[in-house]
Structure 1
């Protein structure tokens, strides 16, 4: 069985490693246009802030590691054309410029995503950079050494983490977002308010509800970011506006969403025979709403890549969908969420939802310390089916959202969550878990 893999970050690496385990005699060739694989981009901010001093720790595999498995690993090789009908690809060696063709029995497409770069006037100026891969992280670190005023555009998880990292480095930092709140896709207002207060307390300027209209420069380098409300001086600008699927290579050959995300079934098949796809270039099944969405997350990518290997020869293991579970640490706050927020449910779906919020100590007050936690539960009004939740605390309680992810995935109700068996031990919690307590409060609504 001859297999070609296009792209090798999270989904690609998982697909390759697991395929070799299941089919050791298979002939696998991977084409990757970068000179590295498996970079954990979620660690960029930690590297920038010098928390992670050795960037090698942000790679969990290498071309050499794949070669040892017997995989033909072609770094700095870009697939320029795919001919699904004839089961062949055209490849360009980015070093020599040579082009050649290769054939396959099975094709695995793990092209990932790429940062959104809007056509803002002045965007071609020097020192306006992206944040996605290892080379980006090295560029950011080098340019940040010389910069005094740094503007981060986009207040999703990557943007807020970088803003914190730059402030820790002593830079004059501004965080801009067109939305009224930071991290608005992941958290409702009571949670983002605490994070915003922390940023302001540390001197980070927040410019929410502002749209960037142009960049100004001097001698070819950026000098200012102009929004529809204000102008911000800048020596360095980092774009963190969001991501789009990097799947143009297969356009017109497989079914896609309007945004270019590849549509796959629950076994990772595309609409073309013997062509599989996984990771950030694909749609995912979103359990809270029961539809398909574009949710680029490393956790999804690793699962999907593993499933490609499991289903490569015959349908074996179904994809269970995702809740989009995620977590972040902002200064002293540990924050996590899963499923639908109340705002997203009300503004993007026709579902009738209710919510409840609870503020309580995570363990008995007779213990020497007992930090408070703010926890929210979002559920369907008629059925009481749990749709999502959020938590924030100075004590790390983020794993509760992993538990709640299972609740959402299994379509449990508020009543079932209220009476779910969780252990009690004063070192760790109260007789009623916080998840029990917030569900019990929902039953009072």
Structure 2
């Protein structure tokens, strides 16, 4: 049995690991576009805030660990296209630029999620940063000691956590959200009012009900909203994530947001294709 696994953060790691433990004679190839796997993105804020003594603690597995189980690890390989019916895929080696075609009997889609990046003016400003994967985290960690101020856009879990750590390490922080409450999608008003007060008591300026409409600036970034403008050393965009499933669009049943629909066995509408993690929904 030949199995291809696309994406190897969390669901991909455990999928490959479980398959090889249960079926050690199967041929399992893992395709991952990054040079690392198993990054604990939930700990980015703690790392940036100097609560993690060693960056190695932000990972719990490695390519070598999966290879020792028998996986054929294709790190820094980007899957460009998938043909579910033909059971084939095209992949690019990001180090050499060489494209190759491979086949599979079973496919595991664990491509995760990607940050929502609104199509607004100046979104590609060098001082607008993301907070999702290891590369984003490393960039934030590296720049944190040299900045004095930050604007955080989005007051969901990711936004409030990074805003907290910037604040407790002495940065001037402004937290934005277009919604009327922080963590509005997670808690009721009784809780969010208390959370907002705690942030304000610690010096965070909380700007709610403001929609960001643009970014500008070179050495600093000016964030323009529908109610004013605010300047800081950096802006962190944390307005949410979406399933990263464009490779399979039109080939598998999906929710309107792109999440691949699966049954209780994680099978998709094609029984030879499985999906798990942020890319899927049961």
Aligned-partner Cα distance in 1 for 2:49–2:211: 27
1:69 match: 69
1:79 match: 79
CA offsets 1:40-73 (integer angstroms, 9 cap, x no match): 1000000000001212111110001111111111
Does the 8 A contact of 1:126 with 1:222 survive in 2?
Answer: no
2:95 match: 95
2:277 match: 279
Q: Deviation at 1:101? A: 1.0
Q: Deviation at 1:146? A: 2.1
Aligned-partner Cα distance in 2 for 1:90–1:11: 22
Q: Which residues in structure 2 correspond to 1:95-244 (within 5 Å)? A: 95-218=95-218, 221-244=219-242
Does the 8 A contact of 1:125 with 1:222 survive in 2?
Answer: no
Aligned-partner Cα distance in 1 for 2:65–2:221: 43
CA offsets 1:137-175 (integer angstroms, 9 cap, x no match): 010112222221100000000100000110122110111
Does the 8 A contact of 2:155 with 2:182 survive in 1?
Answer: yes
Aligned-partner Cα distance in 2 for 1:114–1:44: 16
Aligned-partner Cα distance in 1 for 2:7–2:108: 9
Aligned-partner Cα distance in 1 for 2:154–2:281: 22
Q: Deviation at 1:134? A: 0.9
SS of 1:280's partner is helix
Q: Deviation at 1:19? A: 1.0
Which blocks of at least 5 consecutive residues in structure 1 are unaligned? 285-445
CA offsets 1:290-331 (integer angstroms, 9 cap, x no match): xxxxxxxxxxxxxxxxxxxxxxxxxxxxxxxxxxxxxxxxxx
SS of 2:278's partner is coil
Does the 8 A contact of 1:215 with 1:222 survive in 2?
Answer: no
Does the 8 A contact of 1:245 with 1:259 survive in 2?
Answer: yes
Q: Deviation at 1:216? A: 2.0
Q: Deviation at 1:222? A: 4.4
Aligned-partner Cα distance in 2 for 1:223–1:164: 20
1:248 match: 246
Aligned-partner Cα distance in 2 for 1:205–1:255: 43
SS of 2:227's partner is coil
Residue 34 of structure 2 is aligned to residue 37 of structure 1: no
SS of 2:277's partner is coil
- Which TM-score applies when normalising by structure 1? 0.62
Residue 27 of structure 2 is aligned to residue 24 of structure 1: no
Q: Which residues in structure 2 correspond to 1:292-331 (within 5 Å)? A: none
1:3 match: 3
SS of 2:145's partner is helix
Q: Which residues in structure 2 correspond to 1:362-373 (within 5 Å)? A: none
Does the 8 A contact of 2:128 with 2:221 survive in 1?
Answer: no
- Indicate the structure whose relative CO is greater, using CA pairs within 8 Å and at least 6 residues apart: 2
SS of 1:273's partner is coil
Aligned-partner Cα distance in 1 for 2:228–2:165: 24
- Which TM-score applies when normalising by structure 2? 0.97
SS of 2:102's partner is strand
1:264 match: 262
* Higher Cα Rg, which structure: 1
Aligned-partner Cα distance in 2 for 1:144–1:151: 13
CA offsets 1:230-268 (integer angstroms, 9 cap, x no match): 211111011000001100001111111222111112211
Q: What is the count of residue pairs matched by the alignment? A: 282
SS of 2:186's partner is coil
Q: Which residues in structure 2 correspond to 1:55-66 (within 5 Å)? A: 55-66=55-66
Question: In angstroms, what is the RMSD of aligned CA positions?
Answer: 1.0
Does the 8 A contact of 1:37 with 1:61 survive in 2?
Answer: yes
CA offsets 1:177-231 (integer angstroms, 9 cap, x no match): 011111111100111111111111110110111111111213xx54211111121
CA offsets 1:100-123 (integer angstroms, 9 cap, x no match): 111111100000000000011111
